Amino acid sequence: MVQAVRKPAGDDAIAIARDVLEIEAKAIADLVSQLDERFTEAVHTILACRGRTVVSGIGKSGHIARKIASTLASTGTPAFFVHPAEASHGDLGMIARDDVFIALSNSGESAELLAIVPLVKRQGAKLISLTGNPESTLAKEADVHLYAGAEKEACPLNLAPTASTTAALALGDALAVALMHAKGFTRDEFALSHPGGALGRRLLTHVRDVMRTGESAPRVGQQATLMEALLEMSRGRMGMTAVLDDAGRVIGIYTDGDLRRSLEKSVDLRATRVADVMSGHPRTIGPERLAVEAVEIMERDKVNQILVVDEGKRLVGALNMHDLFRAKVI
């Protein structure tokens, strides 16, 4: 006989969701008061590790362990996940004397983990446990135990791992961030482990990689007429031209907006020097800066183009929003 499923009314669903979020938020907040010198000891243990950090757990704790291992690995702490059941069938060989083994179990009594703990310790690896029971076997066997439990689960039956897994995940993030800080992990180091996708493009793409150079970067000398500047703008198709002094240094920019203002004043295009109607002190950036920094400047100052200059303020390139869109930086 198939049991009918009662669909909660809209207001009921929202009330349930709010209750779940409040329970899980409280589980994380409660961890704050639990932090003590043992957390510092765990950080120092991982920092002193000459091998790898191995993270393990089974069931829902296993999923959290995988995420913690991934976060550690991507933030400067070499780490990987080992399934405790597979460890008993050969994967234990992945764990060596110089490693740190982090074991996750809310009860602290997961049979699969307890079966390999003596072997891990015999190897000489340090053991850090994250459990919801400080009196558990796993907690007592650990070199360092961190409480990662919850007063109650968000599950109405208080059975399905929900608040406890959220707490363990948050504590794992806290470990990773504390280790990042201790190691002085940099943006460039982060980029090296995230070369793919949008994040990689934002962190690895420099201005020099996307800027227009040579004849593709419109420019005129300060003695050029406004008509000559317009012809250069038309040729360059960037809606602007840089204005340079005799040494090739940027002294201004002339844009489509400047052209509209010039026409409103009925200036003589053939007789007027571009230097007399240009915008001085244009936005510039160095070629070694990240392309995303160029985006930030352009969005902040509400401009569509930016000039690229070297340390001597000499023009080396130019780029606009379309270049950044094409490079998928934005």
pLDDT at residue 1, as a whole number? 46
Q: Look at residue 179 and tell me if it is in a domain.
A: yes
- Residues 65 and 141 placed together within one structural domain of the fold: yes
Residues belonging to the chain:
330
Neighbours of 70 (CB within 10 A): 16
Q: Which domain holds residue 79?
A: 10-185
CATH of residue 85:
3.40.50.10490
- Residues 28 and 164 placed together within one structural domain of the fold: yes
- Residues 296 and 263 placed together within one structural domain of the fold: yes
In b/e form, how buried is each residue of 245-272, taking b as 16+ CB within 10 angstroms? eeebebbbbbbeebbeebeeeeeeeeeb
Nearest-angstrom CA–CA distance, 195 and 119: 37
- Residues 176 and 215 placed together within one structural domain of the fold: no
Question: What is the full per-residue pLDDT of the chain (330 aa) written as tens digits?
Answer: 455 555 655 568 899 999 999 999 999 999 999 999 999 999 999 999 999 999 999 999 999 999 999 999 988 899 999 999 998 877 888 898 999 999 999 999 999 999 999 999 998 999 999 999 999 999 999 999 999 999 999 998 888 899 999 999 999 999 999 999 999 887 666 766 655 555 556 667 899 999 999 999 999 999 999 999 999 999 999 999 999 999 999 999 999 999 999 999 999 999 999 999 999 999 999 999 999 899 999 999 999 999 999 999 999 999 999 998 888 887
- Residues 253 and 317 placed together within one structural domain of the fold: yes
Nearest-angstrom CA–CA distance, 214 and 194: 32
Into how many domains does the chain fold? Answer: 2
Q: Look at residue 199 and tell me if it is in a domain.
A: no
